[in-house]
Amino acid sequence: MHKSVIALLSILFLVSCTEKKATKSFVLHGNIKGLKKGTLYIQRIKDTVFVPIDTIKINGDSHFTSEFDLQSPEMLYLFLDRGVTNSLDNNINFFAEKGTMNIETSLDFFTADARITGSKNQELYDEYKKVVSRYVDRDLTLIQEKFKAYKAKNMDEVAKISEEQDGILKRKYLYTTNFAVNHADYEVAPYVALAEIYDINLKYLDTIQKSMTPKVSKSLYGKKLIDFIAERKKAEK
């Protein structure tokens, strides 16, 4: 009897240790230099609305950790409630994937100073944004030039600028398509297709879909892209 009790207690102890060692599929470590007090929200977009996944209170220590289960690589958002000011610089998007990620930033330049590591999808997305930002910057310059041309009633210049803007948009769409096809073994591929070129000619979206690996096709954004293409084909019949 005594031995049976000891054996039972041993089993319960092992089960308890196993439960304690069980970890979530996603861990986020971070540090916001200069932040003494505030609230962080990790959010996802669901039906065009931000939905909170985790809430983190900061009180003295600017370091934080969040753990939760992540079913598929997904673009998430780290939102900072400063408590005093309503700054526009309060939301960092990051491409989360199973494993451990890290976000280092500062209170003064919350978005601009963000350094995100630990995710291959994030690494590829940063590469994508770096190239696309050139198209965006040039387009912003052209918008200013077009405004001046309108004020000067120089319609020939307006037409010329509009033509250049169309060319920039086409190059951006072509680059995005090529990026998605070349990285079709990562979930960032269907994500950029949905977020950046959803209105492109269907043949390009079809090319991206056919390029996706089985793993990516079964992911959150892979499924969304497949469903989106099917809906567009149905609507355009």
The per-residue pLDDT for 87 is 62
User: Under a CB-based contact definition with an 8 Å cutoff, are residues 110 and 86 in contact?
Assistant: no
The per-residue pLDDT for 85 is 57
The per-residue pLDDT for 93 is 97
Chain segment 189-203, per-residue pLDDT in tens: 999 999 999 999 999
**Whether residue 79 has pLDDT greater than 60:** yes
**Whether residue 229 has pLDDT greater than 60:** yes
* d(C-alpha 124, C-alpha 119), whole Å: 9
Mean predicted confidence (pLDDT) in 135-159: 96
The per-residue pLDDT for 15 is 44
Of 87 and 65, the structure prediction assigns the larger pLDDT to 65
Q: pLDDT tier at 89 (50, 70, 90 boundaries)?
A: confident
Instruction: For residue 203, count CB atoms less than 10 angstroms from its CB and return exposed for 0-12, middle for 13-18, buried for 19 or more.
Output: exposed
Looking at CATH, the fold of the domain delimited by 24-116 is given as Immunoglobulin-like (2.60.40)
Chain-wide mean pLDDT for the chain? 90
**Whether residue 183 has pLDDT greater than 90:** yes
Residue 113's CB: how many other CB atoms inside 10 A?
A: 15
Domain positions in the chain are 24-116, 122-235
Mean predicted confidence (pLDDT) in 61-86: 90
Mean predicted confidence (pLDDT) in 168-188: 97
* d(C-alpha 19, C-alpha 235), whole Å: 50
**Whether residue 20 has pLDDT greater than 60:** no
**Which is nearest to 76 in space by CA: 64, 93, 91?**
93
Q: pLDDT tier at 13 (50, 70, 90 boundaries)?
A: very low
The per-residue pLDDT for 86 is 57
